Structures are given as C-alpha cells and as structure tokens.
Amino acid sequence: MTVELLWWEGCPSHPKALADLERILREEGAPAEVKRVEIEDDEQARRERFPGSPTIRIDGEDIVPPGEGEPYSLTCRVYRLRNGRVSPVPDPEDVRDAVRSRVA
C-alpha cells in the first residue's frame, strides 16, 4: 500500500493531517510509510493533480475525491466533517475507512 500526503506550506493544516494519518495507520496495523510530497508552485499542482492542501492518496486515489471540475492549484482544501462542520483536514473516520478498505 502506498500512502502519500501532498501538502503546501501556505496551509498550516498538514501537520495535523499527517499526525491523524500516521496514528490511524498504526491503529489499523497498516504497514505503510507516509510519503510526503511538498507542492511548491502552480505548475507542480497541475502536474500532480493537486486540488489543495492537504491531500491524502492511498494507492494513488484521493481518500476524499474532489468535486467535478475542482481546479488544481496552491490552495487550502475545505473538508466536511461527519458532523457537517467545515474543516481544513479530513474527518479521521474518513481516513480510517480509506485505510481499512485497503488492509481488509
């Protein structure tokens, strides 16, 4: 299983996203290291199909697929938690579900 965290320094959310991701990988017994990919400019954002920071991909798939037509750019992603609140990081249970679907 390949796990990637794509991030941009303009958003302060990536340390929390990484901490949540690493904790959940440990809890689920998933033998994966997180590859961190810093996105530094718009061209790289387009090349990496980066819809914003942070983006977590497992085996190349975004764990929270962006909406249709979402541009690729240096921006902060807006996630929705399961309680409906806006958040700069994905709901940990969404991360857990994505990990479980690969380790099951």
Partner 1 sequence: MIGIGGRAPEFELPDTDGEPQAFETPAVVIFTCNHCPYALAWHDRLMEVARDYADVHFYAINPNDAERYPRDSFEAMKERVRGDGGWPMPYMHDATQEVARAYGAKTTPDVFVVDSGGALRYRGAPDVDYQDDSLRADWLREALDQMLAGEEIARPETDPVGCSVKWRR
Which parts of this chain interact with partner 1 (CB under 8 A)?
A: 10-13, 42, 73-79, 85-88
Write down the H helix ranges in 1-104. Answer: 14-27, 42-47, 92-103
Choice between 37 and 87, CB closer to partner 1: 87
- DSSP letter at 29 equals T
Determine how many CB atoms are found less than 10 A away from the CB of residue 75: 17
Choice between 83 and 104, CB closer to partner 1: 83
Choice between 78 and 104, CB closer to partner 1: 78
Question: Rounded to the nearest whole angstrom, what is the least distance from the CB of residue 26 to partner 1 in the complex?
Answer: 23
Choice between 86 and 104, CB closer to partner 1: 86
Question: Rounded to the nearest whole angstrom, what is the least distance from the CB of residue 10 to partner 1 in the complex?
Answer: 4
Question: Rounded to the nearest whole angstrom, what is the least distance from the CB of residue 46 to partner 1 in the complex?
Answer: 13
Alpha-carbon Rg for the chain, nearest whole angstrom, is 13
Place of tokens 């909406």: 67
Question: Rounded to the nearest whole angstrom, what is the least distance from the CB of residue 77 to partner 1 in the complex?
Answer: 7
- DSSP letter at 53 equals B
CA distance 8 to 97: 24
